[in-house]
Amino acid sequence: MTLGPNIEDTGLPSEAPDRESVFHDLVEGHRADLHAHCYRMLGSLHDADDALQDTLLRAWRSLPRFRGESSMRTWLHRIATNVCLDAIAKRPKRVLPIDYGPPTAGEDHGRSPLPGSRWIEPFPDEVVGVTDGKTAPDARLERREALELAFAAALQHLPPRQRATLILRDVLGFSAKEAAESLGVTVPAANGALRRARATVAERVPEQTQQATLRELGDRKLREIVERFADSFERGDIDAILAMLTDDASFAMPPFREWCRGRDEIAKSWLMPEGPAPRLRYVAARANGQLALGAYAIRPDGTYEPIALDVLTLRGDLIADMTVFRDTSSFPRFELPERLSDAPTGPRRGDTG
């Protein structure tokens, strides 16, 4: 998939191979970060794809006016921020079911699907190369920390300019002046927006990030959790599944608005496997810097087709939240196969670190 403009798409003369080469060299190292930035702003992988394309097209057209008064990184993220603000103004905010309304009884789950455009989408951080560490010396948040589902969902509850200010300052490490100039506001206004945004986000995210939890558990324990999860579901062992959950665990399944909380309600929900095993297969993945698994259901011909991407949020070594995304169109972006054979399996990709 091409994530940048072709010279033929810009409406500009194509007899400028040097300019195209220069542009490619200037922006290539920033694509992954720009893509992640657009995702944080928009909460949607598909919207982030479109915003990245628009960003690179605007940058291409503006390149002759770039005078180096700021770094290329700052200039490109300024363009991307304004592209995203334009996009936000044209569509409803995206949320998770847990933000849409109160929990429901487990047996009532899965009755009210809503359009996909209402929901936050998972993000394949490993695929696009978002690595560990901070994006800039002044950033307060790690890259993967700032992609976690809870953080991505909290961002969507902020007014657009507060959202942009928080990302520019705490994720990208922009100075107050750079953030203010990017948004066309004064430095005091940017600082005020940042304070309000930090307060709102702090109320909506867990005290400990998933990155801290994953580091504490270590690769061996994480592999064990993934293997136990896959094995329990593939065997249809409901007691084993429930034993992996915290007492107050939640289960949500976009595009359905209903979600439930607690082991008893989850036991009555759509999450629990039905019928004789083996009816399900799982493949390990990574999404939003968190553990994830691609879920596959058996077909009449004995093969398994994708049905969902399960993103897990851990509290200690137990699962506190399961968000099961029923849209499988993005499976290739998570390096997940389109179909599985009927061979006995566990989670195929063992890379949980």
pLDDT tens digit sequence for 221-247: 999 999 999 999 999 999 999 999 999
The CATH number linked to 268 is 3.10.450.50
Half-sphere exposure of 55 (CA within 13 A, CB side): 33
Confidence of residue 14 (pLDDT cuts 50, 70, 90): very low
The verdict on residue 306 lying in a domain is: yes
Q: State how far the alpha carbon of 352 is from the alpha carbons of 52, 68, 204, 312, in Å.
A: 28, 40, 26, 12
The verdict on residue 121 lying in a domain is: no
The verdict on residue 163 lying in a domain is: no
Confidence of residue 134 (pLDDT cuts 50, 70, 90): low
Maximum distance among all alpha carbons in the chain?
66
Average model confidence (pLDDT) for the chain? 87
Q: What residue type is 193 in one-letter code?
A: A
Given this model, what pLDDT does residue 64 score? 78
The verdict on residue 138 lying in a domain is: no
The answer to whether the CB of 268 falls within 8 A of the CB of 106 is yes
Residue-number span of the structural domain to which 15 is assigned: 1-91
- Residue ending a domain, among 58, 91, 124, is 91
For residues 262 and 32, give the distance between their C-alpha atoms in angstroms, rounded to a whole number. Answer: 37
pLDDT tens for each residue of 154-207: 999 999 999 999 999 999 999 999 999 999 999 999 999 999 999 999 999 999
* SS3 (DSSP) at 250: strand
> Crossing angle, helix 187-204 and helix 149-156, to 10 degrees?
130
Rounded to two decimals, the pTM is 0.88
Question: What is the rounded average pLDDT of the residues 243-269?
Answer: 95
Given this model, what pLDDT does residue 132 score? 58
* SS3 (DSSP) at 259: strand
Query: Parallel, antiparallel, or unpaired for β 280-287 and 304-315?
Result: unpaired
- The rounded radius of gyration (Å) of the Cα atoms in the chain is 21
Name, in order, each residue with C-beta under 8 angstroms of 134's C-beta and a sequence gap of 6 or more.
141, 142, 143, 173
- Specify the number of domains making up the chain: 2
The verdict on residue 174 lying in a domain is: no
The verdict on residue 115 lying in a domain is: no
Given this model, what pLDDT does residue 104 score? 87
For residues 327 and 75, give the distance between their C-alpha atoms in angstroms, rounded to a whole number. Answer: 34
Confidence of residue 6 (pLDDT cuts 50, 70, 90): very low
- Residue ending a domain, among 71, 91, 111, is 91
Q: Is the pLDDT of residue 76 over 90?
A: yes
Which stretches does DSSP call E strand in the chain? 245-252, 259-261, 280-287, 290-298, 304-315, 318-325
The verdict on residue 59 lying in a domain is: yes
The CATH number linked to 19 is 1.10.1740.10
| DSSP string across 88-135 | HTTSPPPB-HHHHS----GGGTTS-B--GGGB-----HHHHT--SS-S
Confidence of residue 10 (pLDDT cuts 50, 70, 90): very low
The verdict on residue 172 lying in a domain is: no
- Residue ending a domain, among 61, 91, 121, is 91
**What are phi and psi for residue 307, nearest 5 degrees?**
-125, -25
